[in-house]
Amino acid sequence: MIPKTPVMRRCISCRTTFDRNNLFKITNDHKLGIMLNQGTGRSAYICKSKKCCTDSKLQKKLQKALKSILNPDFFDIFKREIANYN
Ligand SMILES: [Zn+2]
């Protein structure tokens, strides 16, 4: 059996690289818009640390990374998702 190499991605907040499984993935899907942990298109990653998930500049950073304006509804979903995780 060949060991699986973890896919490393960088958190847009603390800029540390993590195994993709330890990150929230936010994708700007071509058709469906901003999605959490699904969709295809330009993606940004945030690690699951409290510091990064509650980063006050997170919205700005995400919008810059995704080159898209985020719907405020998305943040409600995102915050609920984080609350579930913690
Ligand atoms: Zn982080």
pLDDT in tens, 9-56: 999 999 999 999 999 999 999 899 899 999 999 999 999 998 998 899
Measured CA distances, 84 to 9, 23, 40, 77, 81 (Å)? 22, 14, 24, 11, 5
Q: Does domain 8-85 have CATH number 3.30.1230.10?
A: yes
pLDDT at 17: 97
Question: How remote is the CA of residue 1 from the centroid of ligand 1, in Å?
Answer: 32
Question: How remote is the CA of residue 48 from the centroid of ligand 1, in Å?
Answer: 7
| Dihedrals phi, psi of 26, to nearest 5 degrees | -115, 120
pLDDT band at 73 (very low <50, low <70, confident <90, very high): confident
pTM here?
0.86
**β-bridge pairing 33-36 and 41-47:** unpaired
- Half-sphere exposure of residue 79, counting CA atoms within 13 Å on the CB side? 10
Question: How remote is the CA of residue 51 from the centroid of ligand 1, in Å?
Answer: 7
Task: Report which of residues 83 and 45 the model is more confident about.
Answer: 45
